[in-house]
A and B are shown apart, each in its own frame.
Chain A
C-alpha cells in the first residue's frame, strides 16, 4: 500500500517536473507576447533526439552533449520567433497561434527525415539499477529529473528577480509600450523569451528521454499537456506553471495507480475543465489585468 503510494508519488514528481518545464516555456512566451506556442513540445522532442545522437550513438560525454543540445534547440527557438512571430505580428494573435501549430508539424516532419520514425532512448545518466525507498523502486534518473528541474527553476527565478534583463523581460510582459519608451527593445526581449523557452523544453527532453523515450511525433501531445498545465496554474504565472505541471502529473499518476492507466487523461482533463470553469484564470492567475493597451499588444 505504502509502496504503491510512494511509487506513484515519485513517478508524479518526475513526470511533473517535465510538465512544469514545458508549462514554464509556454507561460514565458505567453507572458511576453500573449501567444500560445503550440510548438513548445517540439523543443522537448529535439532535446531528446539530439541527445540520442550525441550521447547515445556518438558516446559524447554529458558535459559536451548537453550544452550542444541546448545551444541547437535554443537556436531553433529563436528561429521560430523569426519565422512565426515576427511575420505574423501585424496580423492577429490567432494567426500566430496557427503558425505555431504549423511550425510544430514542420519541426516534427523534419525530425523524421533527420532521424527516423522509431522510438528512441539513451542510457540514463547514472545507470538503471533502482534504489529502493519505502518499498518503492526509484530509478536514479528520476533524481536527475527532479534535481535539474529545481536548479533550472531556481535559476529562472533568480534571473527574473535580480537581473536587469530579467526585469526588462518582465516589464515587457506587463506593458510593452511603456517598456519600449524606456529604451528596452521589445523584439530582442521576445527573441530572448523564445530562446529561453526552447532551452526549458530542451532540458525536459534531455532528462526525461531515458525514462519516457521519444520519437519524432512526441512533441504535440507534450505541448498540449504543457499548455493545459500552464492554464491550470494560471497562464503567465511562473509559480502557477510549476504547480500546474506537478498537479497534472499527480492526477495522472494517482489515477493510473488507483483506478486505471487508461483513465489517466480522462480524469486529469475533467479536473482541469472544472477548475477552469470556476477559476477561468487558473489557480495562480492574475485576478485583474492592468496597464495593458490592446493597441500596444497587437503592435499597431
Chain B
C-alpha cells in the first residue's frame, strides 16, 4: 500500500514552549486514520504543523513521496492536501457556490478547468441540500450545512488527502451522526482522510486505524476496532 502521509518524529513549539514532541504518524492511500485526544492534547497544533502554518523544529512530513516539511500553506495545498478546518472557516459573506469554486481555485487557475462542473455535480449529488442553497450566503446556513460546505470545498480541490480538524465540534448530536455518515461515504469512494477528533466514540467507528494523543505525544496507536475496547479509550471518554 502506498503511504500518503508520513509524519516522522516531528517537534513543534510555540516560541520556546514545546507543544508536540516526537510525533510520528502514517496514513496509507484510501485509509481513514483518526487522531483522538482530549482538549489541549496538541491535536490542533498538529493540524497547523501539517498545513504549514507552524514551523517544525525537528522531523519531517512527506506527502505522497514529496517532502512538505518546510512548505507554506499555499504550497502544501498545491501538493494535494485539502483541509476542513476547525470552525469550518467558510467565507461567510460569499455564496455557497463561490465557496465551492474557491475550493477548486488551483484548478480554475491552472489545469483541469473543465472538470470543475463535474465536481460540482458530484458534490451536489452528495449533499442535495447544498444544491438548493447554492446562491445563499455561507454564513446564513445552519452549522450542519456549513460543515457540508466545508467538506465539499475540500473535495472540490480533488485532493490526495483530506485533513479534517474536529468536524463534529459544536454540532447537535443528530448532525454529528450525519457528518460521520458522510465521512463513511467518502471512505467508500476511496478518499484518504486524516481525521482529528475529540469525539473518540464516533471517530473510532468510522476509522480504520487510530492514534491517541496526550500532552503532545502519541501514547497509543492501533486498529480502531481494538482501541475501542481498550482501557485507554475509556479513560479518554471520562476525561472528555
Contact = CB atoms under 8 A, between A and B. Distances in A.
B114 to A, nearest CB: 14
A82 interface: no
A183 B139 contact: no
Interface stretch (B94-102, B166-174, B224-232): B94-102
A182 B102 CA distance: 7
Given A181-B74, A182-B102, A184-B105, 11 more contacts: A164-B105, A165-B109, A167-B101, A170-B91, A174-B91, A174-B92, A177-B53, A178-B90, A179-B102, A183-B77, A183-B157
Contacts of A185: 74
Interface class of chain A by DSSP: helix
B132 to A, nearest CB: 21
B156 to A, nearest CB: 9
Interface of A: 164-165, 167-168, 170-171, 174-175, 177-186, 286, 290-291
Contacts of A179: 91, 102
Interface in B84-127: 85, 89-94, 98, 101-103, 105-106, 108-109
Interface of B: 51, 53, 72-74, 76-78, 82-83, 85, 89-94, 98, 101-103, 105-106, 108-109, 139, 153, 157
A290 B105 contact: no
Contacts of B109: 164-165
A164 B101 contact: yes
Contacts of B51: 181
16 contacts: A167-B98, A167-B101, A170-B91, A171-B94, A174-B92, A175-B91, A180-B74, A181-B76, A182-B103, A182-B105, A183-B157, A184-B74, A184-B105, A290-B92, A291-B90, A291-B91
A216 B85 CA distance: 49
A252 B74 CA distance: 46
A180 B93 contact: no
Pick from B78, B93, B105 the residue with the most CB of A within 10 Å.
B105
Contacts of A290: 92, 139
B152 to A, nearest CB: 13
Given A164-B101, A167-B102, A168-B105, A180 B77 contact: yes
Contacts of B74: 180-181, 183-186
Contact of A291 (B53, B76, B82, B89): B89
A124 to B, nearest CB: 40
Contacts of A291: 89-92
B91 A183 contact: no
A167 B85 CA distance: 20
The 5 closest A-B pairs by CB, nearest first: A183-B77, A178-B89, A180-B73, A183-B106, A164-B108
Contacts of B108: 164
B179 to A, nearest CB: 19
Contact of A182 (B72, B77, B92, B139): B77
A253 to B, nearest CB: 33
Contacts of A182: 77, 82, 102-103, 105-106, 153, 157
